[in-house]
Amino acid sequence: MGSLICISGEIQQRDLDLLREVAGIHGFTVTVMSRDGIQGKRFEEDLPRGFFSFLPPSPDLILELFANLLLGSGECLPLFQRVGDEVPSFINKMPILGVFETPLTKAAVCSMLLAIVRSDAVNERNKAMVSAIVKYRNEKLDLVRIGTALSSENDLQKLLELILSTCREILCADAGSIYIRERKEHGGAFSDTLSFKVAQNDSADLGRMPEYSVPINCNYIAGYVALTARSLNIDDVERLDESVPYRAGRALMEKTGYRIKSMLTIPLKNHDGEVVGVLQLINRKNAPSVRLDKANTDQMVRSFSLSDEEFVQSVASQAAVSIERAQLYENIKALFEGFLGSSIAAIDERDRVTSGHSKRVMGFVNAFLDAAEKDPLCPYYELASSPDRRKQFQFAALLHDIGKIGVPEYLLTKENKLGQGEFESIMSRMDYVELLLALKPSNAPGWSSIEEVERDRELLKQVNECGRLSDELYRRLDELKQKIYITIQGQKKEFLSQDEWNKLSVRSGNLTPEERELINSHAVSTFRILSKIPWTGNLARIPEIAAQHHERTDGSGYPGKLTGDKILVESRILAVIDIYEALVAQDRPYKPRTSLKKALQILREEADRNHLDKNVVSFFIEKEIYRSPEKQSS
């Protein structure tokens, strides 16, 4: 505290001498300041203890005096103002400690100096109170800030990083770690070990820290804190009292040469008072920017204070609740993903022909997104770099065919135009015709010879298995349909029933329009099934993305006949991948595996016909997304 008394305004020599004399006795120095001297003067080191204003008493002049004095940190300077016979009314409203009249008397000067000394004491007390209030307020604000941040983070790993970094930042701790106590099984008892989960260190390069466990017992500090559920504040871990049972783990010190001195270890307790983890803060520094090494650690590191401990304990209770919530969230997520996995397995079980299709499609989707994420200029970068949209797309890819659960199994596994039983039934009929020709040709008027029967057998076989029915085969099939034979019951009948004709006469593929419609209905069923799941906001478009995977950009797809950009970008990507996967899948017995070259050519042709999105097809081919999906999906 300085000893300077400043004076401004017109002062008589006699008054100045008296002031200097009395002030000198009390250890004060008196300086007369001109108006210019006050202007912009910054008192930072030698802050005046008091100010005597001999200026004419006017509020404007006094305000100007205060405005011109750039005092250190908002200090309140005791000011005395000279007045005349009358005390001006503004005095009560101004920050003036007292008034005096001239000429000065020794008694008046003494009493003003005494008031200055008293004012200092009051100021000191006020300052201490204000700094305590500010500290308390900041801590509360920090707690609110931490609480808000913790309550909005559901990713356990990110949450732990956040808890640790925030505590370290506020307490100026150079390093720290968090251990978590896992449960033996979901909702079951806690295990008797702590799993090391996260470590941070400003001064040492921790590299990749391996996951390890610490037994909950008296031997190690973290284990001891978990066991006793009480915090430990250690000044120097290398100078532990011989009587305490615990020791500091030496792994970090041995690995990096880092010297641990002060350490604050706090149990993280849930609402039931159970320890769910341990938070450890290491080396409280004098300043955040300090980098510690072996040489400066003793000098730069101090102990954690009692108020540090109280603060971290307040954070710890919020952190423990957030950790339990994040663990619960992860369990629910795992449960849900397990449920999805079983649903997909159920579809695979019904349709062994396309078994694994959905997972392989998801593998290609991942590969597509990985490639897009590496290219900030590509049109899929935003999609690929948003974790929420990625997750949504992955689920949609995995579930895109879930509607097939409602399609009859014989349709899913149908290899030819006729089912096996239907074809055999026709062949038996042909045997009967052959028998009639041998025994009673008049009952098989449609055929003139056994050779003709054999030709018709071949025709049926060929038609049943062909993917595309030529005009010639169609004509011969039509002839066969109309051939007449007499049944055992003596009835005249056309050789093929209407149902058999409908199935065999399909010109392309092996499905009748009705069967095709039934299979196509899986897209609508996918939407219906997925819409029943209460997806969280960031996954809300899964039903739409999945249900649009058979839409085609020219509007020829189903179920919505959507065109161009009206189809979600995820669905346009899914459409390309779905077709490609179906083409190259090795496990479809009714269709030989399409070669890679041919499959890519088909994709290009489909894009040229405006069935598939040209840009998606180009990206898929250019970035070679079609390669090794198994590797990419793992």
**Which residue, 15 or 401, has its beta carbon nearer to Fe ion?**
401
In single-letter form, the type of residue at position 140 comes to: K
Query: Min. distance of Cβ 358 from Fe ion in angstroms?
Result: 7
**Which residue, 218 or 582, has its beta carbon nearer to Fe ion?**
582
Site for Fe ion in 514-533 (CB under 5 A): none
Site for Fe ion in 237-266 (CB under 5 A): none
**Which residue, 324 or 401, has its beta carbon nearer to Fe ion?**
401
CB contact at 8 A, 186 and 177: no
**Which residue, 401 or 544, has its beta carbon nearer to Fe ion?**
401
Query: Min. distance of Cβ 589 from Fe ion in angstroms?
Result: 18
Query: Min. distance of Cβ 192 from Fe ion in angstroms?
Result: 48
Note the Cα 448 to chain centre separation in Å: 77
Interaction pattern, residues 377-416, with Fe ion; x per rule: CB under 5 A: ------------------------x---------------
H or E, element range at 165:
helix 156-171
Q: Which of 153, 456, 551, 578 binds Fe ion (CB under 5 A)?
A: 578
Q: How many residues at the interface with Fe ion, by CB under 5 A? A: 2
Residue 551 in the binding site for Fe ion (CB under 5 A): no
Query: Min. distance of Cβ 519 from Fe ion in angstroms?
Result: 9
HEC assignment per residue over 129-142: HHHHHHHHHHHHHH
Kindly tell me the burial class for residue 410, based on how many C-beta atoms sit within 10 Å of its own C-beta (0-12, 13-18, 19 or more).
exposed
Binding region for Fe ion (CB under 5 A) out of 295-303, 430-438, 553-561, 572-580: 572-580
**Which residue, 344 or 466, has its beta carbon nearer to Fe ion?**
344
**Which residue, 351 or 422, has its beta carbon nearer to Fe ion?**
351
Helix (H/G/I), strand (E/B), else coil: 214: strand
Provide the token pair at 150: 């913790």
Provide the token pair at 434: 């052959």
Query: Min. distance of Cβ 447 from Fe ion in angstroms?
Result: 44
**Which residue, 197 or 360, has its beta carbon nearer to Fe ion?**
360
Binding region for Fe ion (CB under 5 A) out of 18-26, 122-130, 218-226, 574-582: 574-582
What count of other Cβ atoms lies within 10 Å of the Cβ of residue 105?
A: 14
Query: Min. distance of Cβ 574 from Fe ion in angstroms?
Result: 8
Binding region for Fe ion (CB under 5 A) out of 16-24, 78-86, 233-241, 573-581: 573-581
Query: Min. distance of Cβ 524 from Fe ion in angstroms?
Result: 11
**Which residue, 48 or 543, has its beta carbon nearer to Fe ion?**
543
**Which residue, 375 or 409, has its beta carbon nearer to Fe ion?**
409
Nearest Cα neighbor of 574 from 424, 382, 429, 380 is 380
Alpha-carbon torsion angle 289, 295, 296, 297, nearest 10:
90
Binding region for Fe ion (CB under 5 A) out of 38-46, 335-343, 577-585, 608-616: 577-585
CA distance 551 to 559: 7
**Residue holding tokens 């430990």?**
232
**Which residue, 183 or 588, has its beta carbon nearer to Fe ion?**
588
Query: Min. distance of Cβ 381 from Fe ion in angstroms?
Result: 26
Query: Min. distance of Cβ 404 from Fe ion in angstroms?
Result: 7
Q: Please list the alpha-helical segments (H only) found in 195-272.
A: 221-228, 251-256
Nearest Cα neighbor of 583 from 552, 609, 560, 604 is 604
Note the Cα 279 to chain centre separation in Å: 23
Largest CA distance in the chain: 158
Binding region for Fe ion (CB under 5 A) out of 209-217, 280-288, 426-434, 578-586: 578-586
Angle 422-416-423 from CA coordinates, rounded to 5° = 20
Query: Min. distance of Cβ 603 from Fe ion in angstroms?
Result: 15
CA distance 57 to 75: 23
Site for Fe ion in 114-133 (CB under 5 A): none
**Which residue, 167 or 568, has its beta carbon nearer to Fe ion?**
568
Backbone angles phi, psi at 457, to 5 degrees: -55, -50
H or E, element range at 199:
strand 193-201
Query: Min. distance of Cβ 333 from Fe ion in angstroms?
Result: 25
Provide the token pair at 355: 């078994």
In single-letter form, the type of residue at position 489 comes to: Q
CA distance 232 to 245: 13
Q: Which stretches of the chain bind Fe ion, using CB under 5 A?
A: 401, 578
